[in-house]
Structure 1
Amino acid sequence: MSESPGAAVSPGSPPPTEAVPRPDTPVAPVPLTTQRVLPLRHPGRWIITAVVLVLVAQIGHGLVTNPFYQWDRFQYWFLRPTILDGLLITLEVTAFSAVLGLLGGILLALARLSPSPVLRAVSWAYTWLFRSVPLIVVLLFLYNFSALYKTLSVGVPFGPAFFTFDESRLATDMVVAVVGLSLNEAAYASEVVRGGILSVDQGQHEAASALGLPKRYQFAKIVFPQALRSITPNYVNQLIGLIKGTSLVFYVSLLDLFGSVQSMGSTYPGDIVPLLLVATAWYLILTSVVSVIQFYVERYYSRGALRTLPPTPLQKARTALKDVWARGRRESTV
């Protein structure tokens, strides 16, 4: 006789058991929106980061608290008229030498790539000579050039001279510095430019020739703009080296930034360290400005070669802020 659904259970009978799902019963998948993704742990990276931060903090603490650096004197000398005058001379020498050196490097590179054996030989010899001789030797040689040649003339070799002028009147300290740095810079720039031209795909040269374009137009409109993508980062390294190389013009009696620091250091021997820090700070500022300009020049000439241009620092900051904002909103909704 079967029990009715509402019948009471006798005290001696076992309790009713719940229905147990069979092993082959499918389980509903957990939605991906409710799952939490755990990032991969990198303990070694965190340890190295902590060590680096400790070292940076120690260096910063030493710079700030060490009285040997005399930061009050650094502040006094940083914007002094003597230092700013030397900085202006450094900028002038760098600007003139960079332009003349780059123009000379382009001419030397074209001569090195020319089919003329004479031009190739002269370009190679020039590059070999000025890359072998130290810059200080070139500057000192030009500074004493008047001892070798009192007058300079333009005319027919082994024949009459058309123009004659006194070399000492033309070779001022600024001229000697600019000429010496430009001659040295042109030798290195020629290799940078030549490497950039050779980096252009040969098919570009062939396509330009097939169109019947003049050689000058091919170089100015097709080859050189593409070569600038390779030339720019390498030549900026040369330009940064040129900025630091201007410190040698002190030895030809031109008081640039380093020369002004040296002159003030001999007058105020107790301020040698803060004066050297002033020169270091200004050189850091100049090279940083050049690096920023390099970024935007490279970005400009990357158009057409890259699908997406590299983001600017401002764009990177905006993206980082958006990521932080989105991450905070996700965590607040969980």
Structure 2
Amino acid sequence: MNILFLGETYRADAQTWIKGIEKNSGVTISTLEVKPSKSRVKRLWSLIFFFFKIAKVNGTHWDLVLAERSTSYGFFSLFVRAKVRVVAQQGITDAYPITGMSGVIKRAVKGIVYRNVDWIHAWGHVMVPAMLHAGADPAKIQVLPKGINLGLYLGRKSIPSQSRKTGIVTRSLFPDYRHEDILRAIELVSKTFPEVLVLIVGDGVLRVDLESLVLELGITAQVKFLGKVPNDELPQLLAKSDFYLSVPVSEGVSASLFEAMASRNFPIVSELPAYKAFIKNQKNGILVPVGKPAALAEAILQYLNNPEHYDLAVSKNREFIEAAVDFDSNMKVIYQKYLTILKNK
């Protein structure tokens, strides 16, 4: 079997998808992606050259083409000679921005793609409405997360009793993830709970600005930037943490949240549909409004002042992940569906 993946292979989500299919198929997947560039002109040329690459690989008989993001690689997949084309949406909708001519064009492209591919992945129910609005056939949509490796993410068996509590943030340092709100919230928290420590994992364009803000707020004792860490070290960091923070302005389905829940970290996250699907406020986590550092600080203090109250919640979160988000089980189901579609082509 010949399988081609179209997408940004450096992304953790893409790597999980590729590894899952390679594990179940026993096939090494070929990959193609557009060379990244901050320059619009260079990116345009990269897109043109990418079409030439697609023309070149069309000499190969592809059984299966997997494409990430309907408005880019999903569209490219239509020009690849293959038996079966599979597209995965990224986030609630791939058609960003919502307004303007760019949004109009992307929504049109998305509709063309969804009407012409064989299978569509929604890693969570929150993604489905945008798919249906774009004209996707409901019978072609599979709602199932890729899952995470539960053998890696174990975490603590119970919440320790020491006064020092550690939070963790595992989102890239880009504007949409609102790290500034987290830092301002920690500054408020530190006034009544100075023992708190927040580990910020990852890198991005805001790294220097955020480090300057930590100095300005006087919270160098409460915040530690770890930068980008190897994937195999992340489970160890989560195992040393007590609670998880993520307050983006938008979200699709977060593997980062699943990893934290599997590691028995108490989640404090944005009040978004994607998080509401898994977190029930004040039960197995706390939901906070976007862009409200004071509300986030209040939620963190609520946890810090009585962590034992949430011990059962984090255990239940682990049980949920084991039942619904196991990498081995979910990727086996996904690959078997590919085989079924291939058989019927």
TM-score (norm 2): 0.22
Considering fraction of residues, name the structure with more strand: 2
Considering fraction of residues, name the structure with more helix: 1
TM-score (norm 1): 0.22
